[in-house]
Amino acid sequence: MKFEMTKCNRCGSEILLGLEVCPSCGKQQASARASFQPRTLLAVALAVAVLFAFNWMKPAPPHARPVNSPPSATLPSR
């Protein structure tokens, strides 16, 4: 997971999105919290939905196969 960055209201240095106070100048980031919730929640929800869709569709091919070969055939045993 990658951290989202935003810019400080006063000094313009990059800070973590969601931080309330700029670490370099100490200015309170009032707008950070307001923009944090709805868009980030939506993005997280979309990411989770996509992940679920991928996990749901992926196991189909191996599951359709009959389990004839033992697991040791695919993995080289040392």
Where do contacts with Zn ion occur on this chain (CB under 5 A)?
8, 10-11, 22, 24-25, 27
Smallest distance from the beta carbon of 21 to Zn ion, in angstroms? Answer: 9
CB nearer to Zn ion: pick between 25 and 42 = 25
CB nearer to Zn ion: pick between 24 and 52 = 24
Helix (H) or strand (E) holding 14: strand 14-16
Residue 25, SS3 per DSSP = coil
CB nearer to Zn ion: pick between 22 and 32 = 22
Are 15 and 5 a contacting pair, CB within 8 Å? yes
